[in-house]
Amino acid sequence: MLSEISASSERLAAAAEETSAISEETRNAVDTQKDQITQIATAMAEMAATVKEVERAAVNTMKTVDASTQLADKGEKIVTQNGERIAHLSEEIEHAAQVINQLDEYSSNIGAILDVIRGIADQTNLLALNAAIEAARAGEHGRGFSVVADEVRTLASRTQESTADIQRMIEELLVGTQKAVDVMKRSRDEANDCVELSESAAQALREISEGAKTINEMTTHITEATKEQASVTEEMHKNIEAISNISEQTADGAKDTHQAAKEQAELAAHLQTLVNRFKT
């Protein structure tokens, strides 16, 4: 009977020591797991904060892109309106150039008419001179005719002077007209260049607006995805916190188990000591 008690106490002591060792390993493993879960929880909290920051940045980016899109659209409208006004101005300049060209033609026609008048005046002056000569030959009978011939010659001279003045003014007008035509041509060319530049600027602004809209769509998708990620991350963080709480409770239980196993081993050792004393 005593030998059976001794054998049982030995097995109990061995089992208690083994249980104590296992509980020690379990406690260490649970402590390690607790530390790892704490680190994961901290990392999840940091990641959640980062996701929130990314979400805020995405929202701010979307607002900025919206503002840029509106500015680009407004700029495109302004440039297009300016281009239309410049195109209208170019048409007006072209019309003015046509009017000046017509004035040039009219001036040339007037010059031709003046040439005819000048020729008539020359012939009239020559006829008046011949009439004066004939009147001088006629003596007293040709005196009245001589007076008329002098008046005709005087009128012819005035006509020649007037036509010369008109011709000079027409030539000056033609010079001024040609300068005006040249200026109109340069203005028209510059207006056409401005129209082309306005069209290019409007096209560039349209491309900027389209690019901004594309970025806005992408940013919207990123914002939505970030919100979903933030929601999932927050849920994971809650789960990790729950696991951390359970792990902490498990660690406390492992400590209690280890302490109980240790006390059991001490009791088993004490029992073995008493049995050995009883044997002696």
CATH code at position 209: 1.10.287.950
- Residues of the chain with pLDDT below 50 are none
Joined together, the tokens standing for residue 25 give: 């390993």
What pLDDT, on the 0 to 100 scale, is given for residue 152?
75
> Domain containing 243: what range?
2-279
Residue 278: count other Cβ atoms within 10 Å of its Cβ: 10
Q: From CA 251, how far away is CA 262, in angstroms rounded?
A: 16
What pLDDT, on the 0 to 100 scale, is given for residue 275?
65
Q: From CA 137, how far away is CA 77, in angstroms rounded?
A: 89
Residue 232: count other Cβ atoms within 10 Å of its Cβ: 12
pTM comes to 0.48
What pLDDT, on the 0 to 100 scale, is given for residue 40?
76
What pLDDT, on the 0 to 100 scale, is given for residue 15?
65
Q: From CA 65, how far away is CA 275, in angstroms rounded?
A: 87
What pLDDT, on the 0 to 100 scale, is given for residue 119?
80
The number of domains in the chain is: 1
